[in-house]
Amino acid sequence: MKHLLSLVLAAAVVVGISSSARAQGEVTLLSPDPIKSTVDKLVADFQAKSGTQVKVTYGTGVGTRQTVASGGALDVTLLFAPFPEALATGNIDPKSATVVARLRLAIAVQKGASKPDISTPEAVKKSLLNAKCIASVDPTKGSVGGAALLALDKMGITDQVKPKMKWFPQGGGVQDTVAKGECDMTLGPYLSDMRNPGLDVVGALPPGAATPVDITGFLAKDEKNPKGAKALLDYLSSRDAAPAYEEAKIFPAH
């Protein structure tokens, strides 16, 4: 009996050490959900190569910024620019800022419709001014709407185009309304998930018309696994990660 008790206690100690090792080897990651499929793929590859487990939490582009601004940063946090309110809270380390990739704004039209010229900033400007209705995500709900407004400001056509904008809470509604011909075009992210069969994606807008959106990674001020967190952030911005970004029509940082 005494021998059996010793074995049980020894086993408990081993389990405790093992659980502690797993906890120390885990890294938490906060990411915007528009890039979920790509992040899932990259995290799986990182875990296989490093042996470090990653627990991912997803939110909207706007929601992740709000989460960080309210003190909810994880070990590694990916944010769509701009994010001044997130930096102001001090729970992410601004010195750790690392651009992992970039998103581009794109125009899509109804399948088979005439494709507008987007070859130059001036051509994009003319195409938007000629449109009767343009669909995009509500800027208060998703970051792509904010990027759309910044593009209009950049081209100096906000006052003329904003009254023609039709805002939706999510990208699915944006794509559906254009696919049905209810709006001439959508201003949306140049991502592989914009693959509604009723759409033709014209392409990414030139930087002179819409500034690319940086996907920036940060380390938390109080990350539980500093070494693992740094390794994950380094991997997400590495050349090894580039093919996964390119497959999703995201532009790698390198």
pTM confidence score: 0.83
What CATH class does 27-102+213-252 carry? alpha beta
Tens digits of residue pLDDT in 93-117:
999 999 999 999 999 999 999 999 9
pLDDT band (50, 70, 90) for residue 89: confident
More confident residue, 210 or 2: 210
Give the pLDDT score at 12. Answer: 40
C-alpha closest to that of 246 among 203, 190, 196, 171 = 190
Tens digits of residue pLDDT in 231-245:
999 999 999 999 999
Task: Among 1.10.940.10, 3.40.50.10470, 3.40.190.10, 3.30.390.10, name the CATH number for the domain at 105-204.
Answer: 3.40.190.10
Residue 2, φ and ψ in degrees, nearest 5: -60, -40
Domain ranges across the chain: 27-102+213-252, 105-204
Number of helices (H) and strands (E), helices first, in the chain? 10, 11
C-alpha closest to that of 234 among 77, 41, 100, 35 = 100
Tens digits of residue pLDDT in 181-238:
999 999 999 987 777 899 999 999 999 999 999 999 999 998 788 999 999 999 999 9
User: Distance between CA 43 and CA 65 in Å, rounded?
Assistant: 21
Let me know if the fold of 27-102+213-252 is the same as that of 105-204.
Answer: yes
User: Distance between CA 111 and CA 141 in Å, rounded?
Assistant: 26
pLDDT band (50, 70, 90) for residue 4: very low
**Element (DSSP H or E) covering residue 80:** strand 76-80
> C-alpha angle with apex 209: 207 to 212, nearest 5 degrees?
40
